[in-house]
């Protein structure tokens, strides 16, 4: 299952889910940006960053790692990346690390080197199979739990989460995006089934025909195109291309490319 892709979608589109996982459900997610940063010394990109976008220096930034395979070197790499990031960017916000495992058995603690640092309050490890009651009450945590659910139980949980989304989320676009995410997780979990079969299993066939769903889908596609343009412009600027060349290549108005470039510069 493509867990990296799934969790990227979760944190990009529903950042509140991370804060539910770490027992900070009242965090104002509008003050955070899910992003990545280049670390120049070793020419690598640090993914999975939740960075504050306001000027509150007491608000922590979060480095999030999703680990679904055993990795003896994880903590060597993770803490090296953290401290290189601190050295280069010297952020005013305190750091936090969140590591998400499907189960405790996959973790390779390396206590000899990292026992003390893993015991710090700044480091939080989440084991999805131990979420228990939290997964039952929280829609967001339930969606994350769906990733590790067995094939036999996944469809029933997905149907329950879809019903919960319809009851709890009033904004149609957000509701539609979350239902689509739940469906995508099931598609990955049941690769032998067609999408139409999965729609029928989840009771989505009729929902997708409704006018409200179609309008929300169209709005979501427009936002998705904007995100794609942002990423493309960012990559091409990094390659040293001029804004005029980027506008011509992407067939975008030059003013739109300039606007995106300004946002990218602000984010860096």
pLDDT at residue 163, as a whole number = 94
How many Cβ atoms are within 10 Å of 156's Cβ, its own excluded? 11
Band (pLDDT 50/70/90 cuts) for residue 235 is low
Q: For residue 134, give the 3-state DSSP assignment.
A: helix
Its pTM surpasses 0.95 = no
In whole angstroms, what is the distance from residue 27 CA to residue 19 CA?
A: 7
Residue 221 — pLDDT band, cuts 50, 70, 90? Answer: low
Distance CA 143, CA 149 (A): 10
- The model's pLDDT over 156-211, given as tens digits with 9 standing for 90+, comes to 999 999 999 999 999 888 888 899 899 989 988 888 888 888 888 888 866 565 55
What is the model's pLDDT at position 86? 95
Residues 80, 198: Cα–Cα separation, whole Å:
42
% of residues, the chain, pLDDT over 70: 85
Q: How many secondary structure helices (H) and strands (E) does the chain include? A: 12, 5
Task: Report the 10 Å Cβ neighbour count for 225.
Answer: 10
- 1-140 under CATH 3.40.1350, yes or no: yes
Chain centroid offset of residue 212 CA: 26
Length of the chain counted residue by residue:
268
């Amino acid at each position: 299952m493509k867990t990296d892709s799934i969790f990227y979608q979760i944190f990009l589109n529903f950042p509140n889910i991370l804060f539910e996982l770490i027992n900070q459900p009242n965090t104002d997610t509008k003050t955070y940006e899910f992003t990545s940063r280049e670390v120049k010394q070793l020419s690598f990109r640090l993914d999975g960053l939740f960075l504050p976008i306001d000027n509150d220096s007491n608000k922590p930034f979060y480095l999030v790692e999703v680990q679904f395979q055993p990795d003896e070197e994880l903590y060597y790499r993770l803490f090296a990346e953290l401290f290189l990031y601190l050295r280069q960017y010297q952020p005013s916000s305190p750091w936090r690390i969140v590591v998400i495992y499907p189960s405790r058995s996959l973790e390779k603690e390396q206590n000899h080197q990292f026992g003390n640092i893993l015991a710090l309050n700044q480091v939080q490890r989440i084991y999805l199979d131990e979420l228990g009651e939290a997964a039952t009450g929280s829609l967001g945590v339930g969606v994350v739990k769906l990733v590790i659910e067995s094939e036999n139980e996944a469809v029933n949980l997905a149907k329950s989460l879809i019903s919960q989304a319809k009851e709890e989320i009033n904004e149609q676009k957000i509701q539609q995006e979350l239902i689509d995410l739940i469906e995508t997780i099931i598609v990955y979990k049941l690769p032998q089934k067609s999408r139409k079969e999965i729609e029928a299993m989840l009771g989505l066939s009729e929902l997708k025909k409704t006018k409200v769903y179609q309008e929300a889908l169209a709005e979501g596609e427009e936002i998705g195109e904007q995100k794609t343009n942002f990423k493309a412009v960012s990559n091409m600027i990094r390659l040293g291309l001029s804004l005029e060349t980027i506008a011509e290549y992407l067939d975008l108005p030059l003013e739109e490319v300039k606007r995106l470039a300004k946002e990218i510069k602000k984010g860096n």
